[in-house]
Amino acid sequence: MFHTQFEWLNTLKPNFKVLPLKDRLVCGIGALIGLTISSLISWYVLGDFNAWYIAPMGASSVLLFAVPASPLAQPWNMVVGNTIAGIIGVTCAMYIPNLTEAFSVAVALAIFLMMTTDSLHPPSGAVAITAVLGGESVHQLGYYFIFYPVLLNSVLLLVVAIIFNRLLGKQYPQVTQLNTRSKDPTPTQKVTIQPQDIQEVLEHQTELLDISEYDLQKIILEAQEKANARAVSQYLCQDIMTKDVICLQEQEDIQTALEKFKHVNLMSLPVINVEYQLVGTLALYEVVEWFKRAAEPRASWEHLVKQIMDRKVVTVQPTQPIQDLVPYFVERSFNYIPVVENQKLVGIISRADMIAVMQQQLNRVTHPN
């Protein structure tokens, strides 16, 4: 009997992973540091003001330091959510005499507006209640309550959270773009699950998800089904090409081109003209050779990209099958091949793109559905 009841109680628990002791201590220390620093600065700025620090910051610290990856813990949610809740709370306190009705309406409206502006932040509900039940010192502030202490406390705690999480090596605020070189999907995403696959699944969810492991697994499985439905036995160049291409302008100075090479960490870049037509490629070794002959008379007039670039470029069409590209990557060790349509550069296919496709096709052979 007891065992059955114990199992029933387990069904009420979330399936979140329990963090190791060290990580739990770090989260607690982060909240301790964040609340201490932000409250002391608020006290120094506001002086003897009774409401120099508000209770909802304690709830915000749980999100900022324990689950900084949560959509509800992002800076937009905290600042905008608390601002909306503060405005609604002060307004309800002014015009609804019954306190119970005032804070109930305030929280309800705050939830609606936060969800409308994609700024849902659970502690903001407490901000709305504080604006109503905070006492005379809060009511005397009127709408100034939104600026101090709400926004003052929020921004200070947020700044500490950003610094603390960055020192720990955590990405906060969260960045959704996985491909740091380009706005396009990563090579693997192009032939498996893409961000739009996840988005399509999320659009059919009727509930707001603060993702748990189970929810994430379910979404990934459904997204994989969409990716499999899109997969074809023969890919075309347009299916896997990178459209957000880093290019050089033919009129660019060679020194400027070198700085771009340093920034993107690539060995070769396509060169285009003002009409976005592909006119050549420039390899890093060609820039190095230019530096080597800097003392020669010929180098004195070579200062533009177009003067040292290679004008003989192998290109492909968007509708060509990718099998046509294999000899160039295998036999001639190309790093990438430009994709051209109507003489204009529309994308490139890199060696990484080809490897991702071959890996995907190999997986289908070794692990058929």
At residue 242, does pLDDT exceed 80? yes
Is the confidence at residue 316, as pLDDT, over 90?
yes
**pLDDT band of 1, cuts 50, 70, 90:** very low
Kindly give the pairing relationship between strand 336-341 and strand 344-350. antiparallel
Given a contact cutoff of 8 angstroms between Cβ atoms, the answer to whether 96 and 131 are in contact is no
Q: pLDDT per residue over 91-118, tens digit each?
A: 999 999 999 999 999 999 999 999 999 9
Say how far apart CA 367 and CA 162 lie, in whole Å.
43
- Dihedral of the CA atoms 217, 222, 227, 233 (nearest 10)? 110
* Residue 233: other Cβ atoms inside 10 A: 6
| Average per-residue pLDDT for the chain | 85
List all residues 6 or more positions away from 241 whose beta carbon is below 8 Å from its beta carbon.
318, 339, 346, 347, 348, 349, 353
The first and second tokens of residue 267, run together, are 């060995």
pLDDT band at residue 228 under the 50/70/90 scheme:
low
> pLDDT tens-digit profile of 291-314?
888 767 666 677 899 999 999 999
Lowest mean pLDDT: which of 66-80, 111-125, 287-301?
287-301
How high is the pLDDT of residue 299?
62
Q: Residue 368: pLDDT band by 50, 70, 90 thresholds?
A: low
Comparing 151 with 189, the larger pLDDT belongs to: 151
Q: Give the pLDDT confidence score for residue 184 in this predicted structure.
A: 73
**Section 209-238 average pLDDT:** 67
Say which range, 39-53, 170-184, 232-246, has the weakest mean pLDDT.
170-184
pLDDT tens digits along 193-220: 666 777 777 777 776 666 654 556 667 7
Report the percentage of the chain scoring pLDDT > 70.
80
Does the pLDDT at position 332 exceed 90? no
Spatial distance between the Cα atoms of 167 and 111, rounded to a whole number of angstroms: 33
Query: Is the predicted pLDDT of residue 153 greater than 90, yes or no?
Result: yes
Question: Is residue 232's pLDDT more than 60?
Answer: no
What's the chain look like in SS3? CHHHHHHHHHCCCCCCCCCCHHHHHHHHHHHHHHHHHHHHHHHHHHCCCCCCCCCHHHHHHHHHHHCCCCHHHCHHHHHHHHHHHHHHHHHHHHHCCCHHHHHHHHHHHHHHHHHHCCCCCCHHHHHHHHHHHCCHHHHCCCCHHHHHHHHHHHHHHHHHHHHHHHHCCCCCCCCCCCCCCCCCCCHHHHHCCCHHHHHHHHHCCCCCCCCCHHHHHHHHHHHHHHHHHHCCCCCEHHHHCECCCCCEECCCEHHHHHHHHHHHCCCEEEEECCCCEEEEEEEHHHHHHHHHCCCCHHHHHCCEHHHCCECCCCCECCCCEHHHHHHHHHCCCCCEEEEEECCEEEEEEEHHHHHHHHHHHHHHHHCCC
Which whole number is the average pLDDT over 158-175?
A: 91
Give the whole-angstrom CA distance, residue 341 versus residue 278: 10
Q: What pLDDT score was predicted for residue 266?
A: 77
Average pLDDT over residues 150-154: 96
What confidence category does residue 225 fall into, taking pLDDT thresholds of 50, 70 and 90? low
